[in-house]
Amino acid sequence: MSILLSRASRVLVQGLTGREGSFHTEQMKAYGTNVVAGVSPGKGGTLNLGVPVFDTVADARRETGAEVSGIFVPAPFAADAIMEAAAAGIGLIVCITEGIPLYDMVRARAFVEDAGAKLIGPNCPGLVTAGEAKVGIIPNHINTAGSVGIVSRSGTLTYEVIQGLSQAGVGQSTSVGIGGDPILGLSFSEVLRLFKDDPATRAVVMIGEIGGSDEEAAAEAVIGREFGKPVIGFISGRTAPPGKRMGHAGAIISGNTGTAASKLQALKRAGAQVCDTIEEVVAAAGAAVGQPSSAAHR
């Protein structure tokens, strides 16, 4: 099933009746995702897009056996939604919402950890297991099933890689956008470990960016320790000046930490193949899974 999500996963959507929530639920269903429930407080008992809506996550889980939640609720309420999902026993929580206050996230993250759930995001595009299911906002038409795993902090750059691979005839196993915020759920290290143990994944593309030290930590603790599969690394923001926040709340070089140079060096030292452009990433990933591609001229 690749990692985290399959066509069998029973998915609920928190904030299903909102503008973003309903648009993307439709897309998720169109992709084949098994969307079993929606949650919108006060709208329990209704049907939306053919999906039963519940007032609480606990109700939805009890009635439908949902085990994965996608969260599209506005930022002021999103941390509470994450905790509600964790408290109800949801195992995988995917929070798309951007702009959640950091103290809210710090608490929600600790809560999720205590509940033993996995959190992806926030401020992320979600994940897709190609050809099976999707939770989040990654465009449907770009994915092709195959054996390259993708883990990335950036949304649109993830799409670029997926589309580049697909156009080059190189399919993906699961693509995971972990998000661009300073306080995140799953880190590069945790997603890489899942890919390591996944028989459906034969090579991994890791798209990092400036800020923090998650890339370095993953290089040292996971990639450099008998990872056993080719890792193709890419870091955006090489030319970003220190002290300037480049859009993502987490993309900032402060002091000596977070530079592209440090991340690239750590990846190289760990044995990852480091690329300069997305075109190179696509070519390298194709070569790694035995499909030398014509991607470079795309």
Question: Interface with other proteins by CB under 8 A: which residues?
Answer: 75-76, 99-104, 106-107, 109-111, 125, 137-139, 141-142, 152-160, 163, 180, 182-184, 207, 209-214, 217, 236-241, 244-251, 254-256, 276-279, 297-298
Distance in Å, CB of 149 to other proteins, minimum: 18
DSSP E strands, 64-158: 68-71, 92-95, 118-120, 126-129, 133-136, 145-152
Helix axes 102-115, 75-87, angle to 10 degrees: 10
DSSP 8-state symbol, 219: I
Q: Are 23 and 13 in contact (CB under 8 A)?
A: no
Distance in Å, CB of 236 to other proteins, minimum: 4
Nearest in space to 278 (alpha carbons), one of 213, 205, 193, 185 = 205
DSSP per residue over 274-285, as a string?
E-SSHHHHHHHH
Distance in Å, CB of 205 to other proteins, minimum: 13
Pairing of strands 126-129, 172-177: antiparallel
Is residue 297 flagged as an active site residue? Answer: no
- Our CB check for other proteins shows the closer of 46 and 254 to be 254
- Our CB check for other proteins shows the closer of 38 and 179 to be 179
- Our CB check for other proteins shows the closer of 236 and 293 to be 236
Distance in Å, CB of 229 to other proteins, minimum: 23
Give ∠ CA 64-69-71 in degrees, rounded to 5.
130
From the candidates 24, 141, 248, 297, which is the catalytic residue? 248
Nearest in space to 94 (alpha carbons), one of 155, 175, 177, 196 = 177
- Our CB check for other proteins shows the closer of 131 and 182 to be 182
Which residues are catalytic, by number?
248
